Amino acid sequence: MASRSLGGLSGSRGSSGVCKKSLSARNAAVERRNLITVCRFSVKTLIDRSCFETIDDSSPEFNNFAAILEQILSHRLKGQVTWFGYESPRSFWDYIRVACRKVSQNCICSIENMENVSSSRAKGRAWIRVALMEKHLSEYISTALRDFKTTRRFYEDGAIVLGEEANMLAGMLLGLNAIDFSFCLKGQGLDGNFPAVIDYTPYLKFTQSSDSISSDEEELRTLGSSGSSGSSTPEKVGPPFIMDENSWFNKCKRVRHKYQLTLEQKGYLEELLQLRENELSKSVSQNKLLLQRIEDSELAHKLEKEQLEYIIVELQDQLTVLKNNDLRSRQELTAHLTNQWPSPGALDVNAVALDTLLYRKHNKQWY
């Protein structure tokens, strides 16, 4: 009897262990799914908000998105083991700094050299802002996730960056490249002393659609008819019709409000489209003008080149003529000088005759 009770106790312990494991796995899956879903909502909110105002550090939508992304990148992040065997906490910047080195023209070194950013958490927050301003956040995340060996070294099993949700993360962040962000890297948002807190209240608002309202009214009517226990008196029929009239009035009011919002958005988009069309027409006209100037300059350069080539040919011909004339004049001068100069034999005869005359004259004066 005792052995049976012990066996039953061990069996219950084993089943409880399995239940705990399955419960922890379910909780981890729910946590990953919730973070990815909230991140998707946050990205959509940022894109919608960017149509009406500039996104900067004062925007609550951005602060919430930065907190969500920080929670995702810090999900099940391993600690750093010291020489003494103790495990110290680690920031997601330690992972990004190693895994994103392969990104071309990355900002890792610039963030490492920032003077006003000292802690690892603050550097990670600065990296998020710089990557958004450079429109390369999705590229950074994709490059880091492709380095699976480094990702496995920094994260534990069950982390978001190691699961299937990681591919969804890189895809949803791609839409942020259409937003022009403006951040100050010296503000209080980079303070690494406080952890990021996600505000879930913007995503918990429930707006009941008209179809849902009508289904609720029908359900109320059904409950009212079932509670009347078969009585079909006119007094019991009155309240539902009054409620239905009020619901129709509220529905028309909501539809009118939606129509006004849609009409205002339509006017804004038409004005924006007209502005873009005007800018496009100006750009097209400027482009045509520049092309015409380029064609005119090319034609002028071609004509100038032809004229210069013609001048060069003329100068070459003139130089050839001058060389020939110079050579001919030199030859004529040489021939002329040669004809005027006496021959060597004539010079000797004249010299002998001159000596004879001088000798005779000298002898006459002597005698």
> Which tokens go with 190?
């980079």
Q: How far apart are the first and last CA of the chain?
A: 189
> What angle (nearest 5°) sits at the alpha carbon of residue 155, between those of residues 154 and 161?
115
> What is the pLDDT, as a whole number, of residue 2?
45
C-alpha angle with apex 344: 339 to 350, nearest 5 degrees? 105
d(CA 284, CA 279): 9
Q: Tokens 């109320």 belong to which residue?
A: 220
- The whole-number pLDDT of residue 83 equals 66
What share of the chain in percent tops pLDDT 70?
73
What does the pLDDT look like over 288-321, one tens digit per residue? 999 999 999 999 999 999 999 999 999 999 999 9
Answer whether residue 156 shows pLDDT above 60. yes
| pLDDT given at position 299 | 93
Could you give the CA distance from residue 287 to residue 295 in angstroms, rounded to a whole number?
12
| Complete DSSP assignment for 246-275 | HHHHHHHHHHHHHHHHHHHHHHHHHHHHHH
In this structure, is residue 288 part of a structural domain? no
Tell me, yes or no, whether 362 lies in a domain: no
- What is the model's pLDDT at position 213? 55
In a domain, 216, yes or no: no
Q: Higher confidence at residue 248 or residue 55?
A: 55
Domain span at residue 56? 26-203
Asked if residue 110 is part of any domain, the answer here is yes
31 found inside a domain = yes
**Residue 265 belongs to some domain of the structure:** no
pLDDT 10s digits, 193-225:
777 889 888 887 655 555 555 555 565 566 555
Give the pLDDT confidence score for residue 97 in this predicted structure: 93
Q: Rounded to whole angstroms, how far apart are CA atoms 103 and 147?
A: 12
Q: Stretch 92-109: mean pLDDT, rounded?
A: 91
- Helix %, strand %, coil % for the chain, to 5? 75, 0, 20
Instruction: Write the CATH number for 78.
Output: 1.20.58.900
pLDDT of residue 88: 75
What is the band of 12 on the pLDDT scale with cuts at 50, 70, 90? low
d(CA 230, CA 355): 178
Instruction: Name the residue with higher pLDDT: 64 or 349.
Output: 64
Burial classification of residue 168, based on how many CB atoms lie within 10 Å of its CB (0-12 exposed, 13-18 middle, 19 or more buried): middle
Return the pLDDT at 257: 80
Specify the pairing of strand 80-81 against strand 87-88. Answer: antiparallel
Q: How many domains does the chain divide into? A: 1
pLDDT at 328: 84
pLDDT tens-digit series, residues 37-64 = 999 999 999 988 888 888 888 899 999 9
Across 335-364, average pLDDT: 63
Burial class (CB in 10 A: 0-12, 13-18, 19+), 174: middle
Give the pLDDT confidence score for residue 189 in this predicted structure.
64
Give the model confidence (pLDDT) of 164-199 as tens digits: 888 889 889 998 998 989 888 876 667 767 778 898
Residue 327 lies in a domain: no
